[in-house]
């Protein structure tokens, strides 16, 4: 999980490990969360699947930044 402060909010990028088949490499589902004053503002569903944890976290942070830019 990667977090940062952005325009008065705390935003999070999440990477959820997923392995459906032992013969397939692990991949990561991305999601994002936004809080303000320690209260949940918005949370995404699954944004997509990525090969690395870092890519998934980055996608979650990008979603959260875009949501803040468009709604707050």
| Spatial distance between the Cα atoms of 7 and 67, rounded to a whole number of angstroms | 11
Residue 22 has pLDDT above 80, yes or no: no
Q: Which of 5-9, 22-26, 56-60 has the lowest mean pLDDT?
A: 22-26
At 23 the pLDDT is: 63
Count: domains in the chain: 1
Tens digit of each residue's pLDDT (9 = 90 or more) over 42-65: 999 999 999 999 999 999 999 999
Domain region containing 42: 2-71
Question: Where is pLDDT greater, at 43 or 18?
Answer: 43
Query: Which candidate, 20, 14, 12, 8, places its Cα nearest to that of 54?
Result: 14
At 26 the pLDDT is: 84
Tell me the average pLDDT of the chain. Answer: 94
């Amino acid at each position: 999980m990667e977090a940062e402060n952005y325009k008065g909010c705390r935003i999070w990028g999440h990477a959820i490990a997923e392995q459906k088949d032992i013969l397939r490499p692990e991949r990561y589902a991305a999601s994002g969360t936004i809080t303000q004053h320690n209260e949940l503002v918005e949370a995404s569903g699954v944004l997509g699947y990525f090969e690395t944890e870092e890519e998934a976290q980055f996608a979650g942070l990008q979603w959260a930044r875009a949501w803040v830019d468009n709604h707050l």
